A = this chain, B = another copy of it.
Amino acid sequence: MYIIAIYDVGSERCGKMLKLCRRYLNWIQNSVFEGELTEVQLKQLILEAKEIMVMDYDSFIIFKNRNKNWLEKEVIGEEKADIGQFL
């Protein structure tokens, strides 16, 4: 399953969410990640995210697509994904 995940959390939880998402997905921009996950991996990611998040303040949006080819990505401006690998 192709996943796009975007978090919006309090700044004190940003580091933990970044670390968590990086374990499962590829960083593409700021708090945006993409990648292929199985149903089980996705459930695990959500479970771990819920442990970090303050549920009535933070949010974590996940777009799921069964086929990556159905979605086209266009990046305008600076492609930041590569930098992410060195952070």
Chain B neighbourhood of A75, CB < 8 A = 59-62
Contact between chains at A76 and B60 (CB < 8 Å): yes
Contact between chains at A76 and B29 (CB < 8 Å): no
Bound Cα distance from A2 to B65, whole angstroms: 13
The count of residues in chain A whose C-beta lies closer than 8 Å to any C-beta of chain B is: 37
Q: Interface on A for B, CB 8 Å cutoff?
A: 4, 6, 8, 28-32, 46, 49-50, 53-67, 70-80
Told that A32-B32, A64-B71 touch, could you supply 8 new A-B pairs with CB distance under 8 A? A8-B80, A55-B76, A57-B77, A58-B78, A64-B74, A65-B72, A67-B70, A71-B71
Name the CB-closest residue of B to A55: B77
